[in-house]
Amino acid sequence: MSLQPANDANILWFLPTHGDGRYLGTQIGARDVDHAYLSQVARAADRLGYYGVLIPTGRSCEDSWVVASSLVPLTDTLRYLIAFRPGLLNPSLAARMAATFDRISGGRLLINIVTGGDPSENTGDGIFLGHDARYEITREFLKIWKSLLNGETVDYTGEHLRIENGKILFPAVQSPHPKLFFGGSSESGIDVAAELVDTYLTWGEPPALVAEKLRRVAQAAEARGRRLNFGIRLHVIVRETTQAAWEAAEDLIRHVDDATIAKAQQRFAGMDSVGQQRMAALHGGSRERLEVSPNLWAGVGLVRGGAGTALVGNPDQVAARIHEYMELGIDHFILSGYPHLEEAYRFAELVFPRLPIRHSVMPPTGTANHGPFGEMVGNFYAPGARAAG
């Protein structure tokens, strides 16, 4: 089947609860990611007009629910895409948590379901199931979770989960429930997505590979009488010139040595995540072939698991690549850059004006001085207007 191009898109940013800094794979230039810093990133994303922020999950991260709950009072319109793992939460508890968060935030909750592809991390969390069984738990969990948030009284007996007379008494703001995001590149993952989620997520592979994957997902959903939205997770390195952007990309991994790369790649090889295998295959652990598609750089994936590619270029080039993914049907972009505070500003200022953004990016009306923009010249003259970028 052919996918419909996206006419506009929602742009989200990322909260780096597992660490941040100016370089990868080193403590040089590292940043203390405490609550004050996460508040800065969230407030910046809110002020700049990002649709929302993704808060990751895993043992290398701060707890996503606690972090999101602490930041809601500090922001006005920013949505929180909270990642969590079905195998670690009872579906009834998760439904109450979601409903509560949605109410206290005024309907600003989004949910990212993460099945988990690292056997070592899973066993450390008490999950001793194989790949396909974990997706079956995800399926059972989502059926119960959605029914509870739909206001139903739930009796369910599955292979892994059982519930009798389950219900939640206080509903979420969003009806029938907060939107569900989910990524899974295996057949098991695609099957769950086709049946139960709202937005299917992929990591940033070259457009041809993304197109092939999205067609498979769309066909599986269509067979169930459903249509999905599509999103992509990418890093961004945008500068005012192409040369400066590629220099920034190389600078990001300047302190990464071969031993660190080998250690990281060995770690990733032990995972049973098909998506992680596809990410690793883009570069094979080699510095020699990191531009895997025009303006798509796989250097981040040398040492970082999960999303391992970045769009690199000047504002026009990065916007063009985003438009290319939109042509495939992608209408949600979850972006990040190092360091996350500065790069949130850089991307918004340089690339937002070049994109058809679905959500409003205008700052809230208030008493702040919204113009003229830029520092006054000679303490008297407003700086001349110029095109963005």
Residue-wise pLDDT tens digits, 46-101? 999 999 999 999 888 999 999 999 999 999 999 999 999 998 999 999 999 999 99
Q: CB neighbours of 371 closer than 8 A, spacing ≥ 6?
A: none
CA distance linking residue 84 with residue 212, whole number of Å? 27
* Closest by CA position to 237, among listed 322, 295, 302: 295
Query: What pLDDT, on the 0 to 100 scale, is given for residue 368?
Result: 46
Nearest CA-CA partner of 79 in 46, 56, 48, 103:
46
Give the closest residue to 40 by CA, choosing from 71, 83, 1.
Answer: 71
pLDDT range class, residue 384, cuts 50, 70, 90: low
Query: How many angstroms separate the CA atoms of 25 and 28, rounded?
Result: 9
At 175, list the tokens: 């009806």
Q: Which residue has the higher pLDDT, 328 or 369?
A: 328
| pLDDT tens digits for range 310-342 | 999 999 999 999 999 999 999 999 999 999 999
- Asked if residue 278 lies in contact with residue 212, where contact means CB atoms within 8 angstroms, the answer is no
364 pLDDT band, cuts 50/70/90, is: very low
Sign of CA dihedral 213, 214, 220, 223: negative
- Average pLDDT (36-53) is 98
Least confidently predicted of 300-309, 326-335, 367-376: 367-376
Contact 59, 121 (CB under 8 A): yes
Structure tokens at 183: 């990524």
pLDDT above 80: residue 371: no
Question: What is the C-alpha to C-alpha distance for residues 271 and 121, in angstroms, rounded to an integer?
Answer: 9
Residues recorded for the chain: 389
Please name the helix (run of DSSP H) or strand (run of DSSP E) that holds residue 267, with its range, or none.
helix 258-269
- Among 54-63, 68-77, 121-130, 356-365, the minimum mean pLDDT is found in 356-365
362 pLDDT more than 80: no
What is the structure's pLDDT at 36? Answer: 98
Share of the chain above pLDDT 90, in %: 75
C-alpha angle 359-48-199 in degrees, rounded to nearest 5:
40
Task: Summarize pLDDT for 190-242 with one digit per residue, the tens.
Answer: 999 999 999 999 999 999 999 999 999 999 999 999 999 999 999 999 999 99
- pLDDT score for 367: 44
Using the structure block, give the residue that is written with the tokens 């800065």. 40
pLDDT over 90 (residue 294):
yes
As a CATH number, domain 10-354 is: 3.20.20.30
Q: How far apart are CA 287 and CA 258, in angstroms?
A: 9
